[in-house]
Amino acid sequence: MEKILIIGANGQLGTELSAALQTKYGQDAVIGSDIRKPQEENSIFELLDVLDNDALLKTVKKHKITQIYHLAAILSAKGEENPKMTWNINMNGLLNVLEVAHYEKLKKVYYPSSIAVFGTTTPSPAPQYTSMNPATIYGISKRAGEQWCEYYFNKYGVDVRSLRYPGLISYKTSPGGGTTDYAVDIFYKAVEGAKFSCFLEENTRLPMMYMPDAVRATMELMEAPKESLSTHEGYNLNAFDCTPKELYNELKKHVPNLEISYQIDKLRQSIADSWSDTVNDDVARKDWNWNHRYDMESTTKDMLLNLKKKFAVK
């Protein structure tokens, strides 16, 4: 029987991945953990700092963990506020997880990477194997993390798997300080009837993905036969790409009164400018049959529907 530990379970991705894993493996098979308590404690939860390797080992032994999904990280824009702290959490947290996976002989580890590993020398669309010169400490830590994953796989046989997510769009939990957060905030403003102020320039193109696709991709990768995987660094993953102006125009079809203005945040604009505007995910499609289901139009419809429901309940 699988016992899955999710580290960083209360974040934007963790809340939705935890629910999906509970549905698949059963409520008692999934142990959420985070440095923050969850808003509602309706499943097994451990308060855990991934930097505390003794506590991590104790948690793994206590629950007889077989797989870890290590989601805890400081994201791109927030990471620039304190680069050394970001490096410490993003890097040493991963090393603690890989060590425990190695010594406790865990079956599998999941490590999320990001399009932040790409940089200004990366061609567009970003190929799976390409020039990478990440400009942020977040991107540097994710790229180094991918290489640590490949190293532990080759040297110790730790079955660690990884995806390079684009910006994730979702309605259940707010994003935690990334450069693509505008693409979530614009939906909230549309539903609240408020004016939207965008921190990126109107023509800044970035890769995006709706959360149901991201969760499904993660679970499909983790269930894929080991022999079918050609890399244990992050797989490129693509759904659609858009600019703030295009997303705004799509939203206007449903919310004609939505207004937008642009107040550019220099830091986040420079981060966005350093990333690839679209990625090529042929390797993921070939190795484990990845296929996205949501494009910008269907993401917009579903986000609006669910946010309206969420606000109606409140």
Ligand X SMILES: NC(=O)c1ccc[n+]([C@@H]2O[C@H](COP(=O)([O-])OP(=O)(O)OC[C@H]3O[C@@H](n4cnc5c(N)ncnc54)[C@H](O)[C@@H]3O)[C@@H](O)[C@H]2O)c1
Residue closer to ligand X, measured from CB, 56 or 190: 56
Q: Which position among 24, 27, 36, 121 is part of the footprint of ligand X (CB under 6 A)?
A: 36
Q: Which position among 4, 5, 75, 94 is part of the footprint of ligand X (CB under 6 A)?
A: 75
Interface with ligand X, residue 207, by CB under 6 A? no
For 120, half-sphere exposure in the C-beta direction (CA atoms, 13 angstrom radius) is 6
Q: Which position among 119, 134, 175, 244 is part of the footprint of ligand X (CB under 6 A)?
A: 175
Using CB under 6 A as the binding rule, the residues of this chain from 42 to 61 that contact ligand X are 48-51
Does 171 qualify as catalytic in the annotation? no
Interface with ligand X, residue 167, by CB under 6 A? yes
Residue closer to ligand X, measured from CB, 16 or 307: 16
Closest distance of CB 38 from ligand X, Å: 9
Residue closer to ligand X, measured from CB, 256 or 265: 265
Q: Which position among 11, 134, 139, 244 is part of the footprint of ligand X (CB under 6 A)?
A: 11
Q: Write the binding mask 86 to 125 for ligand X: x where contact by CB under 6 A, - elsewhere.
A: ---x---x------------------x-x-----------
Q: How far apart are CA 304 and CA 25, in angstroms?
A: 30
Which position among 69, 110, 138, 294 bears the catalytic label? 138
